[in-house]
Structure 1
């Protein structure tokens, strides 16, 4: 059985999730450039998005070697929080009560998964 998630692994996991969410930022900027008729910019950004997703895939494989898969996937849901922060900081989107409640539920679930006690096998 893999060890319980420690602070260092949690930070690495969140960094990997941040890498994943940065691909959505690049995607949105690419879409905006396509709408404004900047075809080459769109293609470059689309290529960058694919590159970021490749880096994410490699990092994710390393994370799941260190962390239980169920814990890693639960933490991947934190992408909602990071995406909300990107949307507010980079695109000026508004935070609504519904969004806060949704992210709060995800955070609560992630804390429950991360805070669970490790089960011992007494066979």
Structure 2
């Protein structure tokens, strides 16, 4: 069952509601793609994870916690979660697209942050 993670209204969505644009990244359990919602033309990051891999590696609880946290927070410092849903093979999270990569990638690239950089 699909559910809207943010806002009061719930809208049922599925993978077909999103037009894939480009691959953003791959991880141990799936991938993240830049997508466009077909009806609104809004851009999102769609994280898809293979159910079997999540179960085999005992990650279902962690994923549920991540989804619940992102749905509940609503803070400018935490990426927004708009929808979460599943199909027979995959679990999906439709999140706010923030260009520029993630904080860990930046930290690995720079090694340390200057005090000036942390203020930006």
| Alignment TM-score > 0.5, same fold | no
Q: Which has the larger radius of gyration?
A: 1
Structure with the higher fraction of residues in helix conformation = 1
Structure with the higher fraction of residues in strand conformation = 2
RCO higher in 1 or 2 (8 Å CA, sep ≥ 6)? Answer: 1
TM-score normalised by the shorter chain: which range applies?
A: under 0.3
TM-score by length of 1: 0.25
